[in-house]
Structure 1
Amino acid sequence: MDSRTAQILIVDDDHQLRQSFERLLAAEGYAVRTASSGEAGILAVREAVPDLVVMDVRMPGISGLEAYAAMREFEPRLPVIIMTAFGTTDIAIEATKMGAYDYILKPFDIPEILKLIEKAVAAGRSMRSRVAVGEEGEAAVAADAIIGRSQAMQDLYKAIGRAAPTDATVLIRGESGTGKELVARAVYQHSLRADKPFLVINCVAIPETLLESELFGYEKGAFTGATGRKVGKIEQANRGTVFLDEIGDMPLSIQAKILRLLQEQNVERLGGRQVIPVDVRIIAATNRDLEAAVRAGQFREDLYYRLKVVTMAMPPLRERPGDIPLLVRYFLARYSREMGQPDPGVSDEAMALLTTQPWPGNVRELGNTVKKALIFNLGAPLGPDEVQKASGEPLRGGGPAEADPGDSLARYVRRELASGRESLFEDLMDRFGLLVIREALEATGGNRSQAARLLGLSRPTLLAKIEKYGLRIESRVRQSDS
């Protein structure tokens, strides 16, 4: 994914609000432009398309809704968050139905809008960041890429090419870290819906109690706290594509509604009786054995057959070791470019070590290892010692194994489990999160940008966690923390 600083355009006739947004978002690491009217916002988008627009509904001249329609005509995949007062929520809902990413009510909660902005920027980049399929060299380095010459990968490229121009439902199967979301994005970008919304829903990341309302929306009074109408992501993505990641873990009650969507192409909001027709293409992915889940009664058999109209398999990295050198060179070139440093290359010994590993975390784990090795590289080709250190655990063929630190960690967790304390899971996660972030900051001399790259977090996310844990950053920063 593109690692450059996200560009955000604020469109509002309130000078004080624009200034507040500028200060807030600049402190979070975003680049901010502002416009005082809908007309000025349209000109700003045509001048340089941002990653996100945050726009008021009511302004002198044309309304935010009219401005959004013009922006969408110029760049249909541009995510827009609509700001509205309580009295104009119907207009904001209409904008959402037109394809706006979301809306937020004034006055808004700062942590809430920061979280929404981070999600919207990621969604926009998913739609607009090109996925190179089977390419190598400069073309691949400049984009997210699906790389490999093995027969399994050649079969995958053919399947993407054949399925993408159709409206067929696609099921992508493979272990965690193999790149299933990249395949989903590639199918979307080569489809006839490539200029329409592409929304990603992680069925595991969203709590079960919220997943149904996230997907289908709700009417006012549908449940406690439902103070107004909310358009669901499926309705919002009308004429576009919805990617349901980790669908194998979706609750059975929601599976029934997804089956109805696939069969009848309509939805009902929670608490509503109106049947809403939608035209969406569904791409789903899972790392679970769906056949076993069907036999165990954990996954609907009728939904399983509806999903597997086209099935694409992502092979684990251990089954295509010949692709590892290609991936290592891709990651070296890509991350070197992102860090603004020359590509140091890799020694034959280090490459041999990397090629012989089982990589249980697959391509994601390999990429993270290369990235961590690069952060502390001094310019020479990566060697076996750097690769071993970046891995964080002894690699096969890399010398005698040290004691597994996971053993002592497991003993500590067992002791805590015996304590019977309430909120134990949250306490442990916070304790481990604090430890990991403190060690990353220590390793980077307090440089938050480097620490974020080391941890695989966005800089705004890391800053939020530093604030949450009350960490004090020492002044001994080794280099500019921009």
Structure 2
Amino acid sequence: MLNSVIVVDDEASIRTAVEQWLSLSGFSVQLFARAEECLAQLPRHFPGVIISDVRMPGMDGLQLLERVQTDDPDLPVILLTGHGDVPMAVEAMRSGAYDFLEKPFTPQHLLGSLRRALEKRQLVLENRKLHQQADLKSRLEGTLLGMSHGLQQLRRQVLELASLPVNVLIRGETGSGKERVARCLHDFGPRAGKPFVALNCAAIPESLFEAELFGHESGAFTGAQGKRIGKLEYANGGTVFLDEIESMPLAQQAKLLRVIQEQKLERLGANQSIAVDLRIIAATKPDLLEEARAGRFREDLAYRLNVAELRLAPLRERREDIPLLFEHFARAAAEKLGRAAPPLSASQLAQLLVHDWPGNVRELANAAERHALGLGSPDLEVAPAGQSLSGQMEAFEAQCLRAALRQHGGEIKAVMEALQLPRRTLNEKMQRHGLVREDFIGRE
């Protein structure tokens, strides 16, 4: 239950009396003598109620109400009025004031009005939070595409971790979308308005690594002309994405560990520390702890980076996402050319579903672009190792069911007619493939 209250009154005796009453009842009270001071310190989405006198020097209570209504029309304002101000207060309630209390008022009357206003405020804030979460979920579904159980779980994890101030380690094969996931962790969290700096550790020569990461002062080494801001300092307040972190030289690992621990860095050739506020998201294909046991990575840094871990499943483990991803990439490529993407035949779809996709999403995107450009499909494995005929048939059947459910918005009768299946058979197949009608409603 919310318990924050702001009291605005130019009379010190009333402020003191109201504070005593409310504090004894368990409320957290903040006092202001002037409305201007209240507005200057009023946080956005204030989780409470404002109680304000009507007649005050400078900005009066009605003007305060008007300003509050402009910024947050759902923030309850209770007005305190003298006898002659009652008609004015009634008019103010029509303009959005929650309640008015005529002086002198009893503590019970004040507490009753305040508790009702706080209940209303709590419902408003909870509703806003639900809408915000629904909006974030919808945006994320359009960014991390897929209907597989693994992708749905990944999206839930990303939404949970995005708002938490913890470092994250992303593990996945080449081409599985590690940078896209890192970008989502940044974009859907409180650092979204700050820089997102991506760095591939394997692409930087060891001799340049320190200067690239930490920057340098003029004359720090031969050729260092002028001061240079490093990637870590540039990302202050935001997120640094270190891809292929296992390739970072051991000497720089020690310096990165110090930055993470102390939230400070030193440019090459400098003696002064610079405070930085960073979130580190690292990505790797191998297990960092195994790399540490082999002497190729610092174990203490591995633990610092792996506060939370996200594992990206390879495409071959989530084949049901292949058609949706292929369609997305093909349509995007076709739109650039101002044309419609050619449809996939059943045999082409079957090939996509049974191919092993060693290059994961990156390879699939390339194949989709070739298809959209009319360059044909690349040579795909028809029967990858470990993929039996029955497994291929199961994958194809699941995709046919999923496509029909999506096309008809989850309408079971329409799916039965389209696939020419009796109700019982369709239900059994949907259950076997983990398909739920509600997941497709409104997706046609």
Q: What residue number does 2:366 align with?
A: 368
- Return the match for 2:171 from 167, 170, 173: 173
Q: Which of residues 318, 330, 333 in structure 2 aligns to 1:332?
A: 330
**5+ residue gaps, structure 2:** 1-135, 385-444
Match of 2:184 among 180, 183, 186: 186
2:382 corresponds, among 378, 396, 405, to 396
- Say if 2:190 is the partner of 1:204: no
Note the alpha carbon deviations across 1:115-168, whole angstroms, 9 max, x for none. xxxxxxxxxxxxxxx998653xxxx4xxxx321122211221111011101211
State yes or no: 1:289 paired with 2:287: yes
* Inter-partner Cα distance in structure 1 for 2:242 and 2:137: 18
Asked whether the 8 Å contact 2:330–2:371 carries over to 1, the reply is no
Cα pair 1:131 1:185 within 8 Å, conserved:
no
Question: 1:210 deviation in Å?
Answer: 1.2
Equivalenced residues, count? 249
Pick aligned residue for 2:253 from 231, 246, 255: 255
Corresponding residue of 2:227: 229
Q: Which moved more, 1:343-352 or 1:298-307?
A: 343-352
Residue of structure 1 equivalent to 2:273: 275
Greater C-alpha Rg: 2
Given that 2:137 and 2:159 are in contact with CA atoms closer than 8 Å, whether structure 1 keeps it comes out as: no
Counterparts of 1:223 and 1:353 in 2: how far apart (Å)? 55
SS of residue in 2 equivalent to 1:299: coil
- Per-residue CA deviation, residues 212-250 of structure 1 (Å, 9 max, x unaligned), is 101100112211111222111111111111111111111
Shift of 1:289: 2.3
Task: Give the partner amino acid of 2:207.
Answer: T
Write the letter of the residue equivalent to 1:197. P
Match of 1:121 in 2: none
Which stretches of structure 1, 4 residues or longer, exceed 3 Å deviation after superposition? Answer: 130-134
TM-score normalized by structure 2? 0.54
CA–CA separation in structure 2 for the residues paired with 1:395 and 1:305: 39
Unaligned runs of 5+ in 1: 1-129, 378-385, 399-482
Matches of 1:397 and 1:134, distance apart in 2: 33
Please give the alpha-carbon distance, in whole angstroms, between the structure 2 residues aligned to 1:132 and 1:282. Answer: 26
C-alpha deviation, 1:284, in angstroms? 0.9
Q: 1:397 offset after TM fit, Å?
A: 5.0
SS in 1 for 2:240: strand
Cα separation, 2, equivalents of 1:285 and 1:193 = 19
- Residue in structure 1 matched with residue 25 of structure 2 by the alignment: none
Tell me, yes or no, if the aligned pair for 1:131 and 1:182 is still in contact at 8 Å: no
SS in 1 for 2:163: coil
**Counterpart amino acid of residue 232 in structure 2:** I
What corresponds to 1:323 in structure 2? Answer: 321
The within-5 A match list for 1:157-172 is 157-172=155-170
The AA in structure 2 aligned to 1:241 is: T
Cα distance in 1 for residues equivalent to 2:137 and 2:149: 20
- The 8 Å contact of residues 134 and 149 in structure 1, kept in 2 or not, is answered as no
Return the letter of the residue paired with 2:347.
E
Query: Aligned partners of 2:349, 2:216: CA distance in 1, in Å?
Result: 53
Which of 348, 354, 377 lines up with 1:356 in the alignment?
Answer: 354
Q: Structure 2: which amino acid aligns with 1:209?
A: S
In structure 1, distance between residues paired with 2:199 and 2:209: 9
CA distance in 2, matches of 1:131, 1:221: 49
Partner Cα distance (1:170, 1:294) in 2: 18
CA contact (8 A) 2:200 2:244 kept: yes
| Aligned residue among 223, 241, 244 for 1:243 | 241
State how far apart, in whole Å, the 1-side matches of 2:211 and 2:220 are. Answer: 10
The answer as to whether partners of 2:237 and 2:278 remain within 8 angstroms in 1 is yes
Quick one: structure 1 residues 204 and 131, their matched pair in 2 at CA, closer, same or farther if it must change by over 3 Å? farther
Q: How far does residue 291 in structure 1 lie from its aligned partner after superposition?
A: 2.2
How far off is 1:343 after superposition?
A: 2.1
Go from structure 1 to structure 2 and tell me whether the alpha carbon gap of 1:133 and 1:302 turns closer, same or farther (over 3 Å shift). farther
Aligned equivalents of 1:335, 1:134: Cα separation in 2: 21
- Structure-2 residue corresponding to 1:146: 144
User: 1:245, 1:285 within 8 Å by CA — same for their partners in 2?
Assistant: yes
Distance 2:289 2:238 in 1: 29
Amino acid at match of 1:243: F
Instruction: Assess, with a 3 A threshold, how the Cα gap between structure 1 residues 295 and 210 changes in structure 2: closer, same or farther.
Output: same
Question: Partners of 2:348 and 2:285 in 1: how far apart?
Answer: 30
* Residue of structure 2 equivalent to 1:305: 303
Spell out, residue by residue over 1:245-281, the C-alpha distance to the aligned partner (whole angstroms, 9 max, x if none): 1111111111111111111000011111111111111
Given the alignment of the two structures, is residue 215 of structure 1 paired with residue 216 of structure 2, yes or no?
no
Deviation string 1:398-434 (CA, Å, 9 cap, x unpaired) is 9xxxxxxxxxxxxxxxxxxxxxxxxxxxxxxxxxxxx
Q: Distance in 2 between matches of 1:309 and 1:346?
A: 43
SS at match of 2:281: strand
Query: Which amino acid in 2 is paired with 1:258?
Result: L
Q: 1:133 to 1:396 in 2, by over 3 A?
A: farther
Contact 1:131 1:186 in 2 (8 A): no
Distance 1:350 1:298 in 2: 44
| Aligned-residue RMSD, C-alpha | 1.9
How far, CA to CA, are the matches of 1:345 and 1:256 in structure 2? Answer: 53
> Aligned to 2:351, what secondary structure does the other structure show?
helix
Contact 1:252 1:300 in 2 (8 A): yes
| Equivalent position SS for 1:324 | helix
**Residue identity (%):** 49
